Amino acid sequence: MDARLTDLLRQFELERLEVNLFRGMSRDVGSPQVFGGQVLGQALMAAYETVEPRREVHSLHAYFLRRGDFNAPIVYDVDRARDGHSFYARRVVAIQHGQQIFNMSASFQASEPGLDHQVPMPQVPPPEQLADSGRPPRELLEQLPEKLQRLFGTQQSFEFRMVEPVDYLHPQKLPPWQHIWMRAVGPLPDDERLHRCLLAYVSDYNLLSTSLRPHGATFLAGGLATASIDHAMWFHRPPRVDQWLLYSVDSPNASGARGFTRGTLHTRDGTLIASTAQEGLIRISKPPG
């Protein structure tokens, strides 16, 4: 297995401290706090550890309360809210330094047949026709502070190819939507709960940035304070994150120093596997110009 994926999977090997208490470790990827997708994915894995086999997560709703410290472990406290015949409900609180940094509610369901329909996948070029967009161009990277250079210089465990790339050197006002192909950098084990946790992890990429596009702003330009506030996700069909997925994201609204975004995830053959929604902080930290 690719070393980058091996390191990623270690983050999802939680230590059981008690029956409903788990501990996870973080990685310093150059950002000022723990990546939100990591906390989301680890919290979902902690919930899975308390659920019987053959029950899969179908929805989750989470709030990011405080910045996570990547120098300290995160403790996940799972509340077994309900064990039903078909549905299980869990509440997870993530704790660092004696304070809640995150909480999540998740629902799990035993597989059963039912009505079936979905919206079609947007028509976009295939990933083979697009350039790798996992990092900004070298000429911009050299102009960034050392911390950001380290952030983008870190070897990523997922690759991304944007259908509508951003010109980081000369950002323009763009429509409030984007499409991104993404997949893990190598094959992963055939473990459905792992793929669902990793899908939660990677779903935190490219959401909030979509709400910046109509304003010609980027995370690299400075002058903005941004952070995820909440994250919701619905799992429709079994995912494989080591195969290409199209993430289609739009931002219907930004107001009150918050941006709202929605996303859908399709496989290459057009199967809709998940939907997301997120609201995030977008605060102007210094006047433009």
- pLDDT of the chain along its 289 residues, tens only? 788 899 999 999 999 999 999 999 987 766 668 999 999 999 999 999 999 988 999 999 999 999 999 889 999 999 999 999 999 999 999 999 999 999 999 999 999 999 999 999 999 999 999 988 766 666 666 666 565 566 565 668 999 999 998 877 777 899 999 999 999 999 999 999 999 999 999 999 999 999 999 998 877 666 788 889 999 999 999 999 999 999 999 999 999 999 999 999 999 999 999 999 999 999 887 654 4
pLDDT the model gives residue 141: 66
Residue 181 lies inside a defined structural domain of this protein: yes
Residue 289 CB partners (closer than 8 Å, separation 6+): none
Residue 116 lies in a domain: no
Is residue 115 one of the residues assigned to a domain? no
Rounded Cα distance between 105 and 231, Å, is 11
- Residue type at 212 in one-letter notation: L
- Which residues on neighbouring strands pair with residue 92, listed in sequence order? 78, 104
State the DSSP H helix or E strand holding residue 24, giving kind and residue range, or none if neither. strand 21-24
- The CATH number covering residue 104 comes to 2.40.160.210
Tell whether 121 is covered by a domain: no
Q: Is residue 278 part of a domain?
A: yes
Tokens 């990092």: give the residue: 135
254: in domain? yes
- CB 105: neighbour CB atoms within 10 A? 17
* Domain membership flag for residue 273: yes
Catalytic residues: 204, 228, 278
The pLDDT assigned to 289 comes to 45
Residue 289 lies in a domain: no
Number of H-type helices and E-type strands within the chain: 5, 12
Residue-level pLDDT at 154? 63
Q: Are 118 and 275 in contact (CB under 8 A)?
A: no
Cα first-last separation, the chain: 47
**What are the CA-CA distances from residue 289 to residues 84, 112, 219, 223, 264 (Å)?**
57, 57, 16, 10, 35
C-alpha 49/C-alpha 76 separation (Å) is 11
Q: What's the CA gap between 239 and 183, in Å, rounded?
A: 11
Range of the domain at 263: 3-110+132-284
Residue 170 is given by DSSP the state S
* DSSP one-letter string for 196-222: HHHHHHHTTTTSGGGGGGGGT--TTSS
Crossing angle for the helix pair 192-202 and 36-48, to the nearest 10 degrees = 160
Looking at the structure of the chain, the number of domains it has is 1
Q: How far apart are CA 80 and CA 91, in angstroms?
A: 7
